[in-house]
Amino acid sequence: MNKRLVSGIQPSGSLHLGNYLGAIKQWVELQSDYDSIYFVADYHALSAKTDPVEYQQQVLETLAMIIALGVDPKNAKLFIQSQIPEHAELSWLLSSYVSIGQLNRMTQYKEKSNRQGQNAALLTYPILMAADVLIYDAEVVPVGDDQVQHLELTREIARAVNNHLGQVFVEPKPLLGHSSRIMSLQDPQIKMSKSVAGSAIGLLDDEATVIRTIKRAVTDSDPNSPKISPAIKNLFDILSGVSDQATVSKFEKLRVNGSLRYSELKEALVEELLAFLRPVQKTFHALIKEESNLLKIVELGTEQVRPIAIAKLREVKKALGLL
Ligand code: ADP
Ligand code: TRP
């Protein structure tokens, strides 16, 4: 029996290259090596209060994009979080094992509550995330760098429960990929994010947008300074995420020789990005047209996974002394 791997992604708007390189690329690479469970975290993103009709579309689009990027429902189990209500129930049970101080320390809460207000769901969100993972006894969780703190809290929660009730939960480990933190194309000090204009390449961006965004991406004044700048390192990270080793090595050599021209690096980047995005977008558009097909895929995933969640929740309730 393979080790179990669980990961989720929020359906908060269309996905960008950071989401792919930081998270979903690993989902694809690891899907056959583990007992893999992936889901659209639609309960998580509710705190943004999107229009309901739009939200439904976003959930379906996120699902279609995950598949278009290469997650194969034959290898991995795919579902939508709200369709397995046991996650939310476990989240309530776990909340007695977390302090407000622990939640207040979460960097993402500080950032998001500054922008969106101090919504209680934003604060308690890491408890639901812990439930998402612990309910399946996941051993590994592939995520981007920004989720590591949430997973550390998940481990603390698992330990607190185990200390109280005996060995109930497995302590999961985060699994970081090569590009666990892709930076904004406008400012290499902040992460690529869909909420900052010009910062991201959207996976559904058209050719003209990709060209414009890469052209405007910040670099630095000296292509051949011996030390690689954060902006250029980021462009190299993106290049190596979407192209082959030979292309990366070619530019790496030019950089080390002192003969790298940013315009050439950017041209190659555009070319490689478009070659990556074209087939993904084609598959995405075909999938999104067949809504019933997408729903069938998650129905099957739910059928496979829900019994695990039900059994774990029952075990926890019993351990807690609930009748
Ligand atoms: P966003 O920050 O754009 O709202 P999410 O929080 O929904 O994205 O993140 C979904 C997944 O993508 C997470 O695993 C997260 O770690 C990863 N991720 C998001 N942005 C980046 C980035 N800039 N670099 C690497 N991984 C990222
Ligand atoms: N919190 C993650 C994010 O913002 C999404 C998520 C929810 C998740 N539940 C999870 C990731 C469980 C891994 C495991 O991207």
What whole-number percentage of the chain has pLDDT above 90? 85
Rounded-to-integer distance, Cα 113 and Cα 97, Å: 23
pLDDT digits (tens, 9 = 90+) for 100-147: 999 999 999 998 888 888 899 999 999 999 999 999 999 999 998 899
The angle at the Cα of 54, spanning 197 to 306, to the nearest 5 degrees, equals 110
8 A C-beta contact, residue 31 and residue 66:
no
* Closest to 4 in 3D by CA, of 156, 142, 110: 142
Rounded-to-integer distance, Cα 306 and Cα 310, Å: 6
SS3 for 154? Answer: helix
pLDDT value at 225 more than 90: no
Residue type, 3: K
Measured CA to CA in angstroms, residue 97 lies from 94, 158, 174, 322 at distances of: 5, 9, 21, 16
pLDDT score, position 223: 64
Is 194 in the active site?
Answer: yes
Work out which ligand 1 atom sits closest to the CA atom of 180.
Answer: 25
pLDDT digits (tens, 9 = 90+) for 58-111: 999 999 999 999 999 999 999 999 999 999 999 999 999 999 999 999 999 998
pLDDT value at 197 more than 90: no
pLDDT score, position 222: 66
Is 318 in the active site?
Answer: no
pLDDT score, position 224: 65
Sheet architecture: strand order including 77-80: 77-80, 35-40, 4-9, 140-142, 173-175
pLDDT band at 221 (very low <50, low <70, confident <90, very high): low
pLDDT band at 236 (very low <50, low <70, confident <90, very high): very high
Work out which ligand 2 atom sits closest to the CA atom of 129.
Answer: 9
* Closest to 198 in 3D by CA, of 216, 221, 183: 216
**How many residues comprise the chain?**
323
Is 296 in the active site?
Answer: no
Cα(323) to centroid of ligand 2, in Å? Answer: 31
Average pLDDT, stretch 217-240? 86
* Closest to 8 in 3D by CA, of 74, 82, 75: 82
* Stretch (H or E) spanning 264: helix 262-289
pLDDT band at 47 (very low <50, low <70, confident <90, very high): confident
pLDDT value at 52 more than 70: yes
pLDDT band at 14 (very low <50, low <70, confident <90, very high): confident
CA atoms within a 13 Å half-sphere pointing along the CA-CB vector of 14? 9
Q: Which residues contact 155 (CB under 8 A, 6 or more apart)?
A: 171, 172
Point out the ligand nearest to the CA of residue 147: 1
* Closest to 3 in 3D by CA, of 103, 140, 202: 140
Work out which ligand 2 atom sits closest to the CA atom of 6.
Answer: 14
Cβ–Cβ contacts within 10 Å for residue 38, how many?
Answer: 26
Helices (H), ranges, 80-223: 86-94, 100-104, 107-116, 120-134, 148-165, 207-216
Residue of 122, 150, 176, 195 to mutate, ligand 2, most atoms within 8 A of C-beta = 150
Cβ–Cβ contacts within 10 Å for residue 41, how many?
Answer: 23
pLDDT band at 276 (very low <50, low <70, confident <90, very high): very high
Say whether pTM exceeds 0.85.
Answer: yes
Q: What is the largest CA-CA distance in the chain?
A: 72
* Closest to 241 in 3D by CA, of 28, 5, 25: 25
With a 6 Å cutoff on the Cβ, whether 205 touches ligand 2 is no
